[in-house]
Amino acid sequence: MSFMEFVIAAIGIASAIGVVGFRNPLSSAFSLILHLLSIAGLYALLGAHFLAVSQVVVYAGAIMVLVLFVLMLLNLKSESGRRIGIVRSALTVGVGLVIFLTVSGPMLAQFTDISQATLEQNIKASEGGVKAIGELLYGKYMVQFELSSLVLLVGVVGAVMLAKRKNVQLTPREGGMGGAK
C-alpha cells in the first residue's frame, strides 16, 4: 500500500468517524464531504477515473449541497437531550465489531492470494475510462440505464408530492416552515 493510499484511506476513515461522532449535524455534513472526497481519491487511485469525477460532482457536489441546504433551511442545533446510554453504545459497537469481523474475515481470506501478475493485468483492463464505461452503459447495460432515469423521475415527483402542499392548511406549529413551496 502506497503512502498516498494510506493517507487518503486514513482521512476517509477519520472523516467517517467524524460524521458519526460530531454532535453538530453541520460538522457531520462537512465531515461527510471530506469523506466523499477521500473516497473519490481512492477511486482515482484504483484507476476508476470516471467514477472519481462523478463522485465529486454527484456526491460531494449535488447531494451534499442539497443536504447542506436542508440543514440550513431547518436551522438545526446539535442533537439535544439525553445522551446515548453506555449499554447501548457498547452493544452497538459490539454488533458492529461482529459484522465487521464476520464480513471482512472471509473476504480478506479469499482475496489475499491473488497473484500480483494477474492483478496488474486486470488493472489494465479495468481502467475506468469514460469511453469504456459509456460503451457498457449504452450497450450491455442499456436497459438498466434507461430504468435509472425512472429512478430519478421518481425522486423528482416524490419530492414534489411530499413538499408541495395543495389545499392544506398549515398548522401553527409548522408555520415557520411554510416557505418550502
Partner 1 sequence: MNALVPFAPVLALSLGSLGYLVSGQLLERARLTSLFALGLIGAAAYLIVGLLPTAPTVPHGFIINDFSKFFAILACLGAFVSVIGTASSLAGEKIGMLSEYYFLMLTSLCGALVMIFASDFLTLFIGVEVASLALYCLCGARVTKETSSEAALKYFLLGCVSSAFMLFGIALWYGVTGGLVIAPINSSGPLVILSFVLMMVGLAFKIGLAPFHLWVPDVYQGAPTSVTTYMSCVVKVAAFAALFKIALNAFLLPTEWAVGILWFLSVLAMTVGNLAALQQRSVKRMLAYSSVAQAGYMLIGLVVLGDTTSVLASSVFYLTGYCAMTIGAFTVLSVLGPDADSVDDLKGLVKRSPFLAIAMTLFFLALAGLPPSMAGLMGKVYLFTGALSSQFYGLAIIAVLNSALACAYYFRVPAAMLFQAPPTSEPVRVSVFSTFALTFCVAAVVGIGVYPEPLVELCEAVASAAWRQ
Partner 2 sequence: MDPITSYLGIACLLFTIGGIGLCLRRNAIVLFMCVEMMLNAVNLAFVAFSKIHGNLDGQVAVFFVMVIAAAESAIGLAIILSVFRSVASIETTDAAELKW
Partner 3 sequence: MEDTRLALVVLVPLIGAILSYALGRAAPKLAGILATAAVATSFYFVVSLWSSLEGGESFTFTLSSWLSFADVKLPLEIYFDKLSAVMCLVVTGVGSLIHLYSVGYMAEDESRPRFFSYLNLFIASMLILVLGKSLPVIFIGWEGVGLCSYLLIGFWYTNSDFASAGRKAFVMNRIGDLGFIVAMAILYHACGSLDITTLSRPEILARIPSEMGFIAGIALFLAATGKSAQLPLFTWLPDAMAGPTPVSALIHAATMVTAGIYLMARMYGVIELDPVVPAVILWTAFATSAIAALIAISQNDIKKVLAYSTVSQLGFMFLAVGVGAYSVALFHVVTHAFFKACLFMSAGSVIHGCHHEQDMRRMGGLARSMPITCLSYGAATLAIAGIAPFAGYFSKHAILDSLAHVHNPYLHSYSELIGFGATAIAICTAFYMTRSFILTFLGSYRGEGHPHEAPLVMTAPVLVLAALSVGGGLALNHSFFTYLQGPLPPVAHHAGGGTLGYVLGSIPGLIGIAAAYALFVVAPALKDTIRKVLWIGEKLSSGKFYLDELLGLLVIAPIRVLSGVFSRVLDQSVSIGTGNAIGGISRAVGELTCRVTTGQVSTYVLWMFASAALLLYCFLPVR
- Contacts to partner 3 by CB under 8 A: 88, 91-92, 95-96, 98-99, 101-103, 105-106, 109
In b/e form, how buried is each residue of 82-102, taking b as 16+ CB within 10 angstroms? eeeeeeeeeeeeeeeeeeeee
The residue from 4, 164, 176, 180 that contacts partner 1 (CB under 8 A) is 164
The residue from 88, 90, 144, 176 that contacts partner 1 (CB under 8 A) is 144
**Residue 142, binding choice from partner 2, partner 1, partner 3, none, Cβ under 5 to 8 Å by partner class:** partner 1
How many alpha carbons lie under 13 Å from residue 42 in its C-beta half-sphere? 15
Task: Tell me which DSSP letter residue 173 carries.
Answer: G
CB of 151 to partner 1, least distance (A): 6
CB of 22 to partner 2, least distance (A): 8
Binding window for partner 1 (CB under 8 A); candidates: 23-31, 68-76, 82-90, 136-144: 136-144
Q: Does 155 bind partner 1 (CB under 8 A)?
A: yes
Binding mask 106-125 for partner 1 (x = CB under 8 A): xx-xxx--------------
Question: φ, ψ for residue 23 (rounded to 5)?
Answer: -80, -25
Residues 6+ apart with CB under 8 A from 75: none
Note whether 15 and 40 are within 8 A (CB): no
Four-CA torsion 20, 23, 28, 31, nearest 10 degrees? -80
CB of 100 to partner 3, least distance (A): 9
What the block records as the C-alpha cell of 76 is 438545526
Residues 6+ apart with CB under 8 A from 79: 23, 25
CA–chain centroid gap for 174, Å, is 30
Binding mask 58-97 for partner 1 (x = CB under 8 A): ----------------------------------------
Residues that bind partner 1 (CB under 8 A): 102-103, 105-107, 109-111, 140-144, 147-148, 150-151, 153-155, 157-162, 164-168
